[in-house]
Every structure is written in structure tokens, then in C-alpha cells.
Amino acid sequence: MRSFLAIYRRELLSYVTTPTAYVFVAVFLFAIGLFTFQIGGFFEQRRADLQGFFAFHPWLFMVFLPAVSMRLWAEETRSGAIELLMTLPSPTWALVAGKFCAAWTVAAAALLFTIPLWVTVNLLGAPDNAAIVTGYLASFLMAGAYLAIGSAMSALTDSQVVAFVLAVLIAFMLTALGLPMVSDFVAPLLGGGVADAVSRFSILNHFEAAQRGIVELRSVWYFLSLSAMFLGFTWLAVDARRGG
């Protein structure tokens, strides 16, 4: 646990002492505000809820969070610091989990900075606050899944650009599986059952239930399992490098 905390503090410090975290939070807040108020028509809906706000999270996270995680391992490799990191007397899981949790903390901070919008909705009407809490929890878990994808891609290459592109591609595929156009394409070819099965693997499919304030254990398990799977890939990549 000491090794994990040391890596976590080191990585978090690298975020707060460089523009990365600040730029991410600022651009994310600007983008989510733009999408919520301009594209989502927040005021035009005349409804006191945050469904329009949460609806854009998967698509924004799909781009912004790989940008946060692309530096986790690729930057260490590019700068040569990876050699020192690999020789530290810390288990591989502590290195992987420490870096991941630091990036997840940055994502959580970005979500916390949207709380004023929640306060505004309560001033304008009487929203279902339980549903909003569920939406925030699902967004937090979903952010972890996207960051885990980015971490795995970052561990596979020494180029941050390549890590970013690969992470966005994988994230897009896992998100787009839940779109109706994908189901409509798959159903005639492989059957409705296969189309439904494909849709169940979609991040979008599991997040939409939370937007309605429904807590589904299968969705929680999905996000946690997806994060664990890609963190496992990260662990394998890093461990192979340490063994080499």
C-alpha cells in the first residue's frame, strides 16, 4: 500500500504542477457547458433535470479522458524516466493502480466542478436529486473505464499521439455499439439476438439507464469489469517491460 500511495502522490503531483490537469478541466467545463446549453437546449426544455447534461458525457469522455491518460506511460518512456520507474522496489500493480487512480482523481475533480449546475437546477425547480446522484456515480465509473483504456494504450507505445488515437478508437467502438444504427445493421446480418448481445457490450447502453436514475448492478459490474480488464492489459504490458 505504501508503494501505491507513493506512486499515486507522484503522479498526482505531476498533474497539478503541469498545465495538463488545468487545461483538461477548463476545456471539459467549457465543452460540457456548450453542449448542455447550446446543443442540448437546457433552457428550451423547461424541465428541471440534468438528463441533457449527462447525455453528452460518454461522447466527451471518449475524447477528453484518453487525452489525460495518454501520458501515463508513453511520457515516461519518451523522457527516459521509465527506466527508473521500472527499477523501483514497487510491485507492478502498485505502479499501474497508482497512476490510474491519479488520473481518475483528475476526472473526479472535473465532475465536481460541474456541481454548480446541479445547484442551479435545484434553484430553478424540483429535480429528482437521487437520479442526479446516480448519474454522477455512473459518470465517475464510466470515466474510470475510459481512463483504463487509455492507460493500456499508453503502456503499449512510447508515443502519446498513438496512445491517444488508439484509445479514442477503442472507446468509440465500445460506445457506438449501443447506437440504434449499429443494431439495425447487425440484426439483418446475424439476427436480433446477436444485435441485442452486441448492444449489451456498449458503454452507452449501460450509462443510459443511470441517466434515468436507475441503479443496475449489472451496469456497475460492467464498468468495473471493463476497467479491471484494461488495467490488467496495462499490468501485463508493464510487467513484460520490467521482466525485459
Residue with cell 441533457: 52
Q: What is the pLDDT of residues 145-180, one digit of tens each?
A: 999 999 999 988 888 899 999 999 999 988 887 666
In the chain, domain spans: 2-243
Residue type, 200: R
Percent of the chain with pLDDT over 70: 83
Q: What is the pLDDT of residues 180-214, one digit of tens each?
A: 666 656 556 666 665 666 667 788 888 877 776 67
Determine which helix (DSSP H) or strand (DSSP E) holds 26, and give its type and residue range: helix 19-34
Q: What is the pLDDT of residues 79-126, one digit of tens each?
A: 667 777 777 777 888 889 999 999 999 999 999 999 988 888 888 777
Q: How far apart are CA 10 and CA 99, in angstroms?
A: 8
Q: How far apart are CA 103 and CA 117, in angstroms?
A: 23
- Can you point out the beta strands (E) in 38-112? none
